[in-house]
Amino acid sequence: MPLTVVVGGWFGDEGKGKVVSYLGLADKPGICVRTGSINAGHTVNYNGRTWKLRILPSCFISETTKLMIAPGALLKIDVLFREIEEIGSRGRVWVDANAGVIEDRHVESERSNEYLMKVIGSTGQGVGAAMVDRVLRVLKTAKDFPELRELITDVSREVNEELDRGGEVIIEGTQGTFLSLYHGTYIRNLQGHHAAGVISEVGVSPRLVSDIVLVFKAYVTRVGAGELPGELSMEEVIARGWAERGTVTGRPRRAAPFNMDLARRAVMLNRPTQIAITKFDVLFPDARGRRRWGDLPVEARRWLENVSEVLRVPITLIGTGEDSMDMIDMRREVMGP
């Protein structure tokens, strides 16, 4: 009953979409569940095409995988149906009856709040306002909307039954550890996730988790306000080739070198069994497109070995390009069959 949880180790933007899309292609799980909400975008590149998802799981490339939205997630109906059409997944997308629904009034409430937009740096997607309504027990959920009726299922039951049958499930966390309301850089954070929060949104026991994959980009990025230790000037970011923009907001991402202290804390909070490193080819251009460990430059291998040794967690997945399949997969060599 392999249950894999994928979570981000920084402030979001770690490349979880790439990792989950690769795992979808490589492992073909029976179910892939997305948590979080529409303020977190995941980018998937495969066979020359690019998708930017805000609610559907990045496993969609595996055509046999059921795609599910967790009961603890928040969705927006127009975003959901647009993505279903864009990726051609009609018939295999399922939404839990208790998944929260963001309405236009939530978006309007946030965007008219100067404190949220200018001080906190809200994405203005209505997520925070909807979460307030959830806590107050006045938020409408998926079961309240006739247009969602054909997609409704009990995601917690479906996931647990799949695991009981010996099937494979992937849970895709959103944002990152240090955007957590409880463990992040409060007050400038979001509905960020660490591993325990992710599985709680879905409704599975921690005892069922087989692997926790903690995703680190080879450097640290952050969108919007909030502390970023070791932050580089935008001129230096551009010079290093690290300039990026947020998937949802389009805002420029601030950047800093890989931070071992933050990484240690992320490991402490998530207790991963494996680490994935993305954008490795940006840090080491000679690694671009490599798909075998032995093809990496010596200095690149030393960098990875040092990170793994310091964090005391094996690095099993190394992203070496934009395409989902540009991945060095060391799971079998490191973890065994």
Residues lower than pLDDT 70 in the chain: 1, 118-121, 187-192, 247-249
Domain ranges, residue 283: 3-335
Distance separating alpha carbons of residues 145 and 101, to the nearest angstrom: 9
A 10 A CB-CB count for 35 gives 27
Predicted pLDDT of residue 188: 65
Listed residue (229, 254, 251) closest to 240, CA to CA = 254
**How does pLDDT run across 263-285, given as a tens digit for each residue?**
999 999 999 999 999 999 999 99
Alpha helices in the chain (DSSP H): 16-27, 77-87, 104-111, 114, 127-135, 155-164, 195-202, 234-240, 260-270, 280-283, 298-311, 331-335
Q: Which CATH number characterizes residue 288's domain?
A: 3.40.440.10
Is 194 considered catalytic here?
Answer: no
Predicted pLDDT of residue 191: 60
Is pTM beyond 0.85 here?
yes
**How does pLDDT run across 315-330, given as a tens digit for each residue?**
999 999 999 999 999 9
The catalytic residue among 13, 27, 96, 326 is 13
Q: Rounded to whole angstroms, what are the CA distances from 336 to 23, 270, 290, 314, 332? A: 17, 22, 22, 12, 5
Domain tally, the chain: 1
Contact criterion met (CB below 8 Å) for 241 and 282: yes
Q: Which residue has the tokens 């919007």?
A: 224
Predicted pLDDT of residue 193: 73
Is 13 considered catalytic here?
Answer: yes
CA 55 to chain centre: 10
The catalytic residue among 42, 183, 193, 194 is 42
Distance separating alpha carbons of residues 331 and 324, to the nearest angstrom: 16
Residue 227 CB partners (closer than 8 Å, separation 6+): 185, 188
